[in-house]
Amino acid sequence: MSKLQFFYILCIIILVDQKISAQNITILKDSVHISNQYYVLEEMNLSIKNKNIYKILQQKYNLFDGNYFKDPINRLTAKKEKLINLSEDLNRHQYGFESYEILYIDSKYLALSISIQVFGSPWEDSEYYFFDLEKDTNIGNSLFKNRKKLLLECNKKLINQENIRLNLETSDLSNYILVFDSNRKFNEIIFVFKDLNNYSVSGNQKYEVSFTRIEIENFIASKYRNTNIFKF
């Protein structure tokens, strides 16, 4: 076998492995029929090596009193059973379950949103995550350098857009949406901030602050700048 043939086969193996890794992450769905209405239930199905990420997602809304599920199918089944048990007076219980959206995925990174809508109530909430699948961790605000300066820039935009200034902490920089174009090229980031002093029946007031690729470039930590996802 020539070196060229070996290199060609190696490239195919790498591409197939990346495709399989991405395909292992899916959103499981089921439904319950109550009072002439279907309620759709969802659960993230991650690779078995991403136990920590799966635990992070379960902890967000703590639907089962701190009980942790290792198997997503079992957790989806538990959601279905709980919804059926509450079906006689669903609105009074004001209970809800998560829904998910995969915003970006490759063999190393996963960006997703997790949302919840309480049945019979206007209350809703969403959270955004950016995970390192290989390290099984949430990247969060470690994506950025000069975080305090970035917070100042965020507040400048909030003042210009909403005429409001929030008491932001660096931890608030963990809730963001990565936006890609049709070619999967990163071109924008949107931070989602909650005003903890402004609460209504629908939840905390939220504000979005966006930065273009050029605006955020100098705030991206060096270890992420040359990865496939950014490529500055």
Q: What is the mean pLDDT of each run of 10 residues along the chain (232 residues)?
A: 39 37 80 87 95 95 90 96 82 81 94 90 90 97 97 96 92 96 91 88 88 96 89 71
Distances (CA, A) of 144 to 169, 173, 178, 189: 14, 8, 13, 12
In a domain, 114, yes or no: no
Model-level pTM?
0.85
3-class secondary structure, 101: strand
Same domain as 144, residue 82: no
Same domain as 97, residue 46: yes
In a domain, 126, yes or no: no
State the pLDDT at residue 15. Answer: 36
Among residues 102, 128, 157, which one ends one of the domains? 102
In a domain, 120, yes or no: no
Same domain as 202, residue 156: yes
Q: What's the number of domains the chain is made of?
A: 2
Among residues 54, 83, 102, which one ends one of the domains? 102
In a domain, 18, yes or no: yes
In a domain, 17, yes or no: yes
State the pLDDT at residue 92. Answer: 72
State the pLDDT at residue 184. Answer: 85
Same domain as 82, residue 31: yes
In a domain, 146, yes or no: yes
As separate numbers, helices (DSSP H) first and strands (DSSP E) second, the chain gives 7, 9
Same domain as 177, residue 91: no
Same domain as 98, residue 163: no
3-class secondary structure, 43: strand
State the pLDDT at residue 22. Answer: 52
What is the Cα–Cα distance from 162 to 197, expressed in whole angstroms? Answer: 15
Angle, alpha carbons 86-88-90 (nearest 5°)? 55
Domain containing 212 equals 140-225
3-class secondary structure, 66: coil
Same domain as 164, residue 98: no
What is the Cα–Cα distance from 187 to 169, expressed in whole angstroms? Answer: 25
Same domain as 93, residue 8: yes
